[in-house]
Chains A and B, each alone.
Chain A
Amino acid sequence: VIEGGPRHGQPFDASGGWHDAGDFLKFVETSSYVTALLLFSYELTGQSVQAGREGADFRKGLLAQSRIGIEWLLKMHPTVDEFYYQVGDEDDHNSWRLPEHDCIAANGEWKPRPVYFGVGANLAGRSAAAFAMASRHFRQDDPDFAARCRAAAESVYTLGTENERVLSTLPASFYPEKTWEDDMAWGAAELFKATGRPAYLRAALEYAHLAGPASAETSVYNTHSLAHYTLFQHAPKSERNGLLNYMRADAELIRKRAENPYGLGTPYIWGTAEAAAGSAITCLLYAALSGEKQYSTIARRQRDFILGSNPCGCLA
């Protein structure tokens, strides 16, 4: 049932997508990041993954997984003026139950799940990036779906320009994001790639300079490196050094942090595995553009940490 907005109180089909870890909440904040990252990986592996059937299967799988997220995000943005950012609330943590019993009227075990109306530029920018990438990558196999994605990318990006603020989760402490400029830079850069319109490139550069370096690793909170890497390849030469400097600052921060026995580039935090993976992304992207191989090695140490080279000796 919708909470807030023009359709407050009405039932809403928010099925699909992925639930959160350890509960059945669904967040646009996390799902848009994962979806965009899957599509980014699909694109990045286009030239590098090994050729042949196995490589083709791998990329096909990435695209199939990303569609799970895209289809759910399309549901969360049903019209040009509407955006819903969360399914379920904090009460979700209060009981053990089967998710298939949710949303059944008067089931007596659980209330109808709230679907929250609202948008921030962080969610809009990242969703726009995901939709724009999907519009290009599904164009050949499913042109109608690709066209829906392109339209959604443009309309959700517009919502972002009208809501230049952060909206994360309810309560915000679940995923406390702080920045939106990086996400809008990424969204605008991907929209430029999808549409070819120079206005998106100009906007992407503007947002990228507002974002600067993340001063942290890539994560659900910080998409700076993803935005700068994407933009770098289309930016005028006069802008490239600036973008590379932002990326270098973050990669260098991780390099210094990684001076420990396990080469871990992030402090121990709630979600160290995700932070280590994000550190790997930051370093890999910077290494790819700069040619500085030491950052590629640091990235591999992050992967190794997640896969067993850690003080517990266990796979995360």
Chain B
Amino acid sequence: MQDDNVSIDPIDPARRRVLQGALSMAFGLIIPGGYDALRISRRPMETPIHLNQVGFLPTEPKRAIVPAESDYVDRKFAIVNDDDSHSIRFVGVLSEYAFADAEQYGHYPRHFFADFDGFRQPGRYRVRLSNGRQSLPFPLGRACMRGSRHRCSVTFRCSVAAGRATPLARSATLMTE
């Protein structure tokens, strides 16, 4: 579902490509990360929208938490692709959670929920608010935990050189519905 109220990228794609090229040529050899570093700094602020960044299974409850100083005029949020297209895949409405002692959870007086339980399409996404703020990326899918390993179990092993401990860490951490 498309929603014009949710901003995406104000820079025209053609101008962006020219800018990318110029900046890469100018700074790519002297700035670690070159243009990428500059591009990240130009993105909308990525916090505070808090959510599980390792991922969600398709059919389980899914929630991002949005702490705030004040109310949002437009409480719409979107789930957008985490790629250059930023295509909107789902639109929802923030609900406020009223809690008398909310400031003990991060110094913000108000908290809003972005619930997207009904969105089940596998992929890699971000939560985006109507003011342009967006979350860190997260995967959605049955295999979203596949990349995880028993890293702690390996890192904390004794009497084995660290580099030799990895073969025992072959098991993926899976979740079940």
Interface positions of A (Cβ within 8 A of B): 15-21, 24, 26, 34, 45, 48-50, 54-55, 57-62, 64-65, 68, 72, 99-100, 259-262, 264, 297, 300-301, 303-304, 307-313, 315
Q: A18-B153, A55-B174, A65-B171 are contacts. A313–B99 as well, Cβ < 8 Å?
A: no
Q: Is B63 an interface position by the 8 A CB rule?
A: yes
Residues of B within 8 A of A (CB): 47-54, 60-61, 63-65, 67, 97, 99, 101-102, 105-107, 111, 136, 138, 142, 146, 150, 153, 156-159, 161, 168-174, 176
Query: Contacts A15-B159, A18-B158, A62-B171 given: A68-B153 contact, CB under 8 Å?
Result: yes
A20→B157 CA distance, assembly (Å): 9
Most interface-central of A55, A60, A309 (chain B CB within 10 A)? A309
A34–B64 Cα distance when bound, in Å, is: 30
Q: A261-B65, A309-B52 are in contact. Are A54 and B174 (CB under 8 A)?
A: yes
**Known contacts A16-B159, A19-B158, A24-B158; A54 and B52 CB within 8 A of each other:** no
The answer to whether residues A300 and B60 also contact, given A65-B168, A311-B50 and a CB cut-off of 8 A, is yes
Q: Which of B63, B97, B156, B174 contacts A18 (CB 8 A)?
A: B156
Q: How far is the CA of A24 from the CA of B169 in the complex (A)?
A: 21
Question: B176 to A50, Cβ gap below 8 A?
Answer: yes
Chain B residues within an 8 Å CB radius of A54: 146, 172, 174
- B150 near A261 with CB under 8 A, answer no
A34 CB contacts on chain B under 8 angstroms: 153
Instruction: List 13 A-B residue pairs with CB atoms under 8 Å apart, sorted by A's residue number.
Output: A19-B158, A21-B156, A45-B176, A64-B168, A65-B150, A72-B158, A262-B50, A262-B65, A303-B52, A304-B52, A308-B136, A310-B50, A313-B49
Contacts of A60 in B (CB 8 A): 170-171
Contacts of B60 in A (CB 8 A): 300
Do the beta carbons of A261 and B174 come within 8 Å of each other? no
Asked whether A17 lies within 8 Å of B158 as measured between CB atoms, the reply is yes
A24 contact set on B, CB distance < 8 A: 158
Contact A49–B176 (Cβ < 8 Å): yes
Residue of B nearest to A315 (CB): B53
User: Taking CB as reference atom, which chain A residue is nearest B161?
Assistant: A100
Provide the residues of chain A in CB contact with B61, threshold 8 Å: 297, 300-301
Hey, which chain B residues are within 8 Å of A18, CB to CB?
Answer: 153, 156-158
Query: With A54-B174, A261-B99 known to touch, is A308 a contact of B153 (CB < 8 Å)?
Result: no
Give the residue name and chain of the A residue nearest to B176 (CB): A48
Checking B65, B156, B172 against A19 with a beta-carbon cut-off of 8 angstroms, the contacting residue is: B156
- Give B117's nearest chain A residue, CB to CB: A297
Alpha-carbon distance A16/B168, docked complex (angstroms): 14
Chain B residue nearest to A48 (CB atoms) is: B176
A307 and B54 contacting across the interface, CB-CB below 8 Å:
yes
**Which residue of A26, A48, A259 contacts B158 across the interface (Cβ within 8 Å)?**
A26
A64-B168, A297-B61 known; A311-B106 Cβ under 8 A: yes
- A72 vs B156: C-alpha distance when bound (angstroms): 13
User: In the assembled complex, which residues on chain B have CB atoms less than 8 Å from the CB atom of A19?
Assistant: 156, 158
State how many angstroms separate the Cβ of B122 from the closest Cβ of chain A. Answer: 15
Residue of A nearest to B177 (CB): A48
Which residues of the partner chain A approach B168 to less than 8 Å between Cβ atoms? 61, 64-65, 68
Contacts A261-B67, A262-B105 known; 18 new A-B pairs at CB < 8 A = A16-B158, A48-B176, A57-B171, A57-B172, A58-B171, A61-B150, A68-B157, A68-B168, A260-B105, A261-B99, A261-B105, A308-B51, A308-B136, A309-B50, A309-B64, A309-B65, A311-B106, A313-B50
Contacting residues, chain B, for A58 (C-beta < 8 A): 171-174
Question: In the complex, what distance in Å separates the CA atom of A16 from the CA atom of B176?
Answer: 32
Question: For the complex, what is the distance from the CA of A182 to the CA of B54, rounded to whole Å?
Answer: 33
Determine the distance from Cα of A259 to Cα of B52 in the docked complex, in whole angstroms: 18
